[in-house]
Amino acid sequence: MNPFKQILTGVLIGASFASFAGTDAGPLVLGYGEEAFTIGQELYSTDFQDPTNWVVQVSTDDTSFEERISYKDGMLDLYMPKRGCTAWLDKKFSGPITIVYQVRCPLETLNDEGIIATDINNFWHCSDPRKFDAILETTDTHYHGGFLGYHEMEGYYACTGGGKNRTTRFRRYPRWVDGKDIPHMAVNWNDRKPEYLIEPGKWHTIQLVVCNDMLQYIKDGQVVYEFKEGDTITVESRKDGKRVKTEAIYTEDDFPAYDEGYFGFRMVGSHHQYKNLAIYQLDPRN
């Protein structure tokens, strides 16, 4: 794998790290990252003024509630009462990258029916194993906003819970192959820890990292999860219809690194506002 592989599709903005560091959402180098990479060129940033850059997949779980999607004031605003939603950036990135953005659950709508301050979820370096770009399509059988529709894709997932959902997870997809559960990387060591949960009304800064075999999920300057070859992880599978978790060693033989794919915001039954999204190339140290 070529660690210096550039973006395959999309716009190279060409701005430097310094030009973005003045915002609250600049990328950090923490934990394993200190020995693994330096921050390289900015590949993409947005003020969310162009809806054509986004593919928003919305479930029809409860049609009595109407979703709202807006792109204004430098934000993507997704209002999804009792609905699952994934908003994919339609630009494919490859190689080592970091994705950083800010998100909040506004207090103004927190008491609306069908809305809970929950589920800051992320997909990155994702693709469809049958047809790479099919992940951006909305069909009756795949990628329609319902969470189960994403179980057969390839990629990484991380989430922060809130409200009744106290989960803080990291997964490597797929979870299913041909409609059947398969063993997959599924870590939840930080479930129910208050420091990792959503605080309604607050702008949270999320950072996602993929650098060859090294992965990180960072929230508000804290490394929530990070993994590299040789680390102990949890693998989830099913036996007799029940979830079974076992410890394993994270290796590229068992869990090959994904080198390219798409990024998406994921949510369900909530109202999220996103701003200051930027994606940077990482320059590996080795």
- The CATH architecture that domain 17-284 belongs to is Sandwich (2.60)
pLDDT at 286: 80
What are 126-162's pLDDT values in tens digits? 999 999 999 999 876 789 999 999 999 999 999 999 9
Residue 215 has pLDDT above 70, yes or no: yes
The confidence score (pLDDT) of residue 138 equals 85
| Residue 14 pLDDT exceeds 80 | no
> Is this structure's pTM higher than 0.85?
yes
Mean pLDDT of 256-275: 97
Average pLDDT over residues 176-183: 93
Confidence of residue 8 (pLDDT cuts 50, 70, 90): very low
SS3 per residue for the chain: CCCCCCCCCCCCCCCCHHHHCCCCCCCCCCCCHHHHEEEEEEEEEECCCCHHHEEEEECCCCCCCCCEEEEECCEEEEEEEEEEEEEEECCCEECCEEEEEEEECCHHHCCCCCCCCCCEEEEEEEECCCCHHHHHCCCCCCCCCCHHHHCCCEEEEEEEEECCEEEEEEEEECCEECCEECCEEEECCCCCCHHHCCCCCCCEEEEEEEECCEEEEEECCEEEEEECCCCEEEEEEEECCEEEEEEEECCCCCCCCCCEEEEEEEEEEEEEEEEEEEEEEEEECC
